[in-house]
Amino acid sequence: MAVFRPFRAFRPAIKNQSLIPALPYDVMSSDEAREKVKGNPLSFLHIDKAEIDLPKGTDPYSAQVYEKARENLLALEKNGDLIQDDSPCLYIYREVMNGRSQTGIVGCASIDDYINNVIKKHEHTLAKKEQDRINHVNICNANTGPIFLTYRKRDDIEQIVSLWIKEHSPVYDFDFEGVRQTVWVIDNVAVSNRLQTLFSKVESLYIADGHHRCASAVKVGEMRRAQKGSYTGEEEFNFFLAVAFNDEDLEIMDYNRVVSDLNGYSFDGFLSAVSKNFDIKELEERRRPEEKHTFCMYYDKKWYLLTAKENSFDSLDPVARLDVSILQNNLLAPILNIIDPKNDDRIDFIGGIRGLDELERRANTDMKIAFAMYPTTVDDLMSIADAGKIMPPKSTWFEPKLLSGIFIHHLS
């Protein structure tokens, strides 16, 4: 059963609540980060992408970048820009975007739960990306970005959270790039203990987003264990920063595809090949897919609806029945010869938050054809993780993103 415990967070002083938080390090380039921090020396990007404070062209994976991140983090703490709670707390973190809210509990999850598969995964990780965050966490001696976890909703947990929100004022409440960010501190030991007890009854936690950060945090914890030789299990390095949301609060957006060519086919020839496993209908106006196993395709200023035929996938296999798998296995690979979508320059992936306009723009400029997807569901994610299987690349797009810099968890 799951461990989810309070910790003494370093977090922004009230006056800095909208100045320090930043988007996750992996959603922007170094150049984009340099632009974002102009006029804001407190931005957490100075920690999460510290190469922006070094000469342009500095290798972002060099030792001096991680040392600079540590220096910048310690300076925020020393100067009082970040403050630390006097005693361990849990926290409530709510984001509201376009009228939809998601409310999670911030605390520390156990590296042993990750190792023992109480915390379940649905993605492979890349060694290079892992090593980057291992270095960052180890040298900074801190988890600086929260892992995005989910769990099957429990009414007893939700009742405690709702009551706390009703009876207490938030410590932070600010707008960040169109998303409302609100935080409450649960500083009552009895309430915190009750939530820990209820989480101990949660059978599984699932990584929604942040597989590389999570794997790296666990490996740093294992490194610290090896270095100490003996440990009690209560040391902070045995735990990592996370935000846990109930599954009904989350929404996964579509993750769409654009391709640069038709692999030598004429469009008529392409449609003929596609018709083997899909029913095809020209649409009078553009739209997103409205149900699973359907795809909206854009080519030469026209939209088409593709509906997968029943014999084109295994409905009992949680991976094979994903729409991203159906498109990959029946169209992208056999017809367009995109065998390895993760490493093929002929395909690109567009988050649903960018809208259909972006699909049309790309298909009319540097690409040729676009596919609008029906979103993967949280239930799909959980079913695949429960089966011990792995999702295909670019299956999920979560919005809003969890900000870094609101909570920092030190490992010692």
pLDDT in tens, 7-38: 999 999 999 999 999 999 988 999 999 999 99
- In this structure, what DSSP letter does residue 233 have? S
- Model-wide pTM > 0.85: yes
pLDDT digits (tens, 9 = 90+) for 252-286: 999 999 999 999 999 999 999 999 999 999 999 99
Q: How far apart are CA 183 and CA 163, in angstroms?
A: 14
Question: How many CA atoms are closer than 13 Å to the CA of 388, on its beta-carbon side?
Answer: 2
* Kind of pairing between the strands at 179-186 and 252-253: unpaired
- Residue 61 in 3-state DSSP? coil
Q: So what's the pLDDT on residue 164? A: 98
* Kind of pairing between the strands at 294-299 and 302-308: antiparallel
Q: Which two tokens stand for residue 162?
A: 């709702």
Closest CA to 412 of 242, 146, 220, 244: 220
* Kind of pairing between the strands at 179-186 and 90-97: antiparallel
Q: So what's the pLDDT on residue 125? A: 87
Written in H, E and C, the secondary structure of 73-100 is: HHHHHHCCCEEECCCCEEEEEEEEECCE
332 pLDDT band (50/70/90 cuts)? very high
In this structure, what is the dihedral angle of CA atoms 186, 378, 212, 110, given to the nearest 10 degrees? 40
Q: So what's the pLDDT on residue 69? A: 98
Is 68 within 8 Å of 76 (Cβ atoms)?
no
Where in the chain are all domains bearing CATH 3.30.1760? 255-374
CATH 3.30.1760 is the classification of domain 255-374? yes
Q: So what's the pLDDT on residue 342? A: 86
124 pLDDT band (50/70/90 cuts)? confident
Q: So what's the pLDDT on residue 4? A: 98
Q: Which two tokens stand for residue 160?
A: 């405690």
